[in-house]
Structure formats: structure tokens, C-alpha cells
Amino acid sequence: MTTPLALADIARDLARVSQVLCDALEAGQFDAAEHLVMTRGLLLDAAEAAPWPTDALELAVIYDARRVVADTAARSEAAVRRSIEAGHSALGDLGTGARAMHAYLAGGSLGSGWVDRHD
């Protein structure tokens, strides 16, 4: 049977993985982010099973990691929200283009707001 990792080691790894996850989300690398989310979940599972330390240095590492994780969580959420907003904008542009294409290709009447020019 293996010895469980110390909570401070897990917290340090969790902070590192959270930073890399945040960087991946900010760069739009969602495949890498998916892998990192799974890794982060495994670390959280290990943290639940680890005994709570009594050493002051280990506690300091844990609290420092907690601050890093909270900061990267906020940045990650902002990156995901920006990505969703960009997706909504792109979908709106596609809808506008599809309506314009439909109006010109179908030979039907144009919808309001479109100018039919025959230059």
C-alpha cells in the first residue's frame, strides 16, 4: 500500500495545474484544458483523502496554494465567459450571413433591412 501524499504536496500540484489550466483557457486551447480539468479532479480527490497537516510550513503552503487556486479560478471563469461571448458573436454573424444568402439565392423577397442593389 502506498503512503498518501501530504496535503501540502497536493495543494502545490493543484496550484500548478490550476495555473496551467488557466493559461490554456486564456489561449483557447480547450483540448489541453479538458485534460487538465481531469488532472485537477484527481488532485482534488487525493486532497479529500489526505490527512490535515499540523506543521506550520505545510499549512502555509496550503494557504498559499488556496490563494493561487482562487485567483486562477477567477481568471479561468473570465476566459471561458469571453470565449462564450465570442461564440455568440460568431453565431450571430453566421445567422446574418445565412439570412443574406437565403434572400439572394432563393430569389425571394428581401427581408427588412437589406438593400437589393443591382450595380
**What are the tens digits of pLDDT across the range 66-100?**
999 999 999 999 999 999 998 888 888 888 888 87
Percent of the chain whose predicted confidence (pLDDT) is above 70: 84
pLDDT tens across 34-44, in order?
A: 999 999 999 99
DSSP string spanning the chain? Answer: -PPPPPHHHHHHHHHHHHHHHHHHHHHT-HHHHHHHHHHHHHHHHHHHHSPPP--HHHHHHHHHHHHHHHHHHHHHHHHHHHHHHHHHHHHHHHHHHHHHHHHHHS--PPPTT------
Q: In order of start, what are the domains of the chain with their CATH numbers?
A: 7-105 (1.20.58.380)
| pLDDT band with cut points at 50, 70 and 90 for residue 109 | low
**pTM for the full predicted model:** 0.69
Q: Note the pLDDT of residue 91.
A: 87
